[in-house]
Amino acid sequence: MTNVPPTPSGLRGAVDLSSLVDRAQRPTQPGGAPAGAQGAAAAAPAAAQGSVPAGGAGPEGDLTVPSLVIDVTDQTFQDVLQLSSVVPVIVDIWAEWCGPCKQLSPILEQLTAEYDGRVVLAKVDADTNPQLVQAFQAQSIPTVAAVIGGRPLGLFVGALPEAQVRDVFEQVVAAAEQNGVTGRVTVDGAASAEPQGEPEPEPLPPHHQAAYDAIERGDYAAAVQEYKTAIAQDPNDQMAVAGLAQVSLLDRLNGRTADELRSAAAAAPQDVEAQMAVADLDVSGGHVDDAFGRLLDLVPTVFGAEREALRVRLVEYFELIGVDDPRVVAARRRLASALY
């Protein structure tokens, strides 16, 4: 039985990166048509010939790169599109202030190293690259996607245990092989040396670390309690608030299937619990407007404990997605109108 989330069974599908490609200098197809997210066939030969700015052609046609983990911006994303014609590129959209990002990023980097040149990890700072955030439909962070042969796919949202992330990597590599992306890159020897004197990363606060350890072993309920304890000790701990919202969503969906949730919601359109469960599913798959609309439509029709449950769930979604997101602003306004 497939759990929901976190594997590519819940992919949001291809996203449109053409607006970013149009802003970059890139190869052109015969006749002058630009190659981009929809023109991977034209980009592939260029990458294979070593024209990717991140590296060059090495011995026996290998592609060399400075590192298997690269920082990418709105302006340099064309490099990723070309590189993805050689190997699949995992895209990690993160931010410095994001606690779950700090839990997930080391896992992504470790797994990238284990694949020994068959996968490259591209890191995108959400705070400084709004075009990529929008293009990948990153409604909360961390958001992880892949680019295969110039075609992007959404993978998952939130910090997941290593075993589940490893399964995602395996599926991405399998999908790449099915699409003929079977190359390998090598790291330039000089660039790959470990920097001297690099400071150790700051340790997570104790309850954050305990929550991360619980997520690693798949014990989402324990992670929920650790984040709640952190918030009780410091109500202004926004990392804990965001972590609690994400792991609570994972805990509620753990062991349940999409078919099960949608069938229950369809059979009982006025059942608050059933509708909140399928709204969780919508949020996990990136369908934020659907989740908001489903619950906001119910708010005026119920009262007492059921209305309060809807309000609490919506507020949790607001924290998960980001209080400044335009969809959250609109939904918050509509919720206030329905309540008052």
Name the residues annotated as catalytic. Answer: 98, 101
CA atoms of 58 and 64, how far apart (whole Å): 6
In angstroms, what is the C-alpha Rg of the chain?
21
Q: How far apart are the first and last CA of the chain?
A: 43
Q: What ranges in the chain are assigned the alpha helix state H?
A: 18-23, 40-48, 77-83, 99-114, 130-135, 162-178, 189-192, 206-216, 220-233, 238-253, 258-267, 272-284, 288-298, 304-321, 326-339
CA distance 260 to 275: 12
Count of other CB atoms within 10 angstroms of residue 51: 15
Q: Sheet with 56-57: list strands edge to edge.
A: 56-57, 63-65, 185-187
Residue 68: name the closest of 225, 185, 239 by CA.
185
276 to 42, 249, 251, 263, 314: CA distances (angstroms): 45, 11, 14, 13, 9
